[in-house]
Amino acid sequence: MLSWSPTSARLVVLDRRGNASLWSASGDGLARWQLARPAGVPQVAWTPDGAALLRRGAHVRWLRAEDGAPLARDGAPRELDAGAPVVALALSPDGARLATGHVGCALKLWDAASGALVREERYPDPLFPEDDDEIAALAWSPDGTRLAYSTREGTEVGVLAAADLARVWRSEFLGAHFFEAMRLAWSPDGAALWFAFECGVGRLYRVAPEASAKASALGTLDLPVFAGAHAVALGCDGLATFDADGARQR
């Protein structure tokens, strides 16, 4: 799992064994640490001040990016009990709201300060709904008014209004399993959305709910280094790829 900091100045890398590392945008290794081995694919989101959020089981824990040490509140590690294993997570640009994705295509919106559940909705695949479908990726728009999501085993990407989680935009049919969108990133102006597919293709969409419920792609990225990558991170102004051995490619 790769995740750019909000300014794309730093990159956190986590693997399935719990190894974590911090990189600069130029590719310099800044720090390494070991975390408890996570269940499934690790998920990380950045707070606006640069502290990282780690997904672990049904809990989301706040960690310091520099060394992976738990961030405390009232003398205890700061964490949020999501009530079910967390598959995807994203923190709003102002750090006030946390979105978590779960099996069953459930999406939960939390007050990040208090840990209170604000809203919960489900977004089953409209063409091939299955019980084990899950929210695979989440990304807030730069202004925090919209939330993009994709589903594993799904066929589309959707955009929700942050106020009530109502769907305001959806992509064209993506081709099911081969084109599962596993990474999402907004352009700085919030007008376009990058998808990174499991098959190694990147695609840029214009997100204009008022224009059409179905919008075709603006462009596609299919570079050899991208297609051969084991993990991909999309940032507001950067892309990073790592191979299966953990070596950075780009």
Give the per-residue pLDDT at 129.
73
Mean pLDDT on 184-211:
70
Report if residue 198 sits inside a domain: no
pLDDT tens digits for range 210-232: 544 455 555 555 444 434 334 44
Mean pLDDT on 113-118:
94
DSSP 176: G
Report residue 154's pLDDT band, with 50, 70 and 90 as the boundaries. Answer: low
Report if residue 189 sits inside a domain: no
How far is 25 from 133, CA to CA, in rounded Å? 34
CATH number at residue 98: 2.130.10.10
Q: Strands 167-171, 214-215: parallel, antiparallel or unpaired by DSSP?
A: parallel
Joined together, the tokens standing for residue 226 give 């991208």
Give the per-residue pLDDT at 228.
39
- Phi/psi region, residue 16 (left: phi>0; alpha: psi -120 to 50; beta: rest), is alpha
Report if residue 247 sits inside a domain: no
Joined together, the tokens standing for residue 125 give 């695949």
List % helix, strand, coil for the chain (3-state, nearest 5): 5, 50, 50
Give the per-residue pLDDT at 179.
54
Give the per-residue pLDDT at 131.
78
Total domains in the chain come to: 1
Give the per-residue pLDDT at 64.
86
Report if residue 185 sits inside a domain: no
Give the per-residue pLDDT at 243.
47
Joined together, the tokens standing for residue 188 give 């700085």
Give the per-residue pLDDT at 215.
52
Joined together, the tokens standing for residue 68 give 């992976």
Report if residue 118 sits inside a domain: yes
Give the per-residue pLDDT at 225.
40
Mean pLDDT on 41-66:
78
Higher pLDDT, 51 or 1: 51
DSSP 200: S
Higher pLDDT, 239 or 116: 116
Mean pLDDT on 38-53:
74
Report residue 164's pLDDT band, with 50, 70 and 90 as the boundaries. Answer: very high
Mean pLDDT on 134-162:
87
Q: Which domain covers residue 108, as residue numbers?
A: 2-173
Report if residue 8 sits inside a domain: yes
Give the per-residue pLDDT at 183.
74
Are the CB atoms for 134 and 152 separated by under 8 Å? Answer: yes
Q: Which of 65-74, 87-96, 134-143, 187-196 has the lowest mean pLDDT?
A: 187-196
Compute the C-alpha angle 179/229/194, nearest 5°: 50
Give the per-residue pLDDT at 143.
94
The position carrying tokens 């730093």 is 10
Mean pLDDT on 45-72:
81
Give the per-residue pLDDT at 209.
57
Report if residue 46 sits inside a domain: yes
Query: Looking at the DSSP assignment, which residues form a beta bridge with residue 139?
Result: 148
Report if residue 180 sits inside a domain: no
pLDDT tens digits for range 227-241: 433 444 545 444 555
Non-local (6+) Cβ contacts of 250 within 8 A are 225, 226, 239, 240, 241
Q: What is the pTM of this model?
A: 0.79
Report residue 175's pLDDT band, with 50, 70 and 90 as the boundaries. Answer: low
Compute the C-alpha angle 243/7/113, nearest 5°: 105
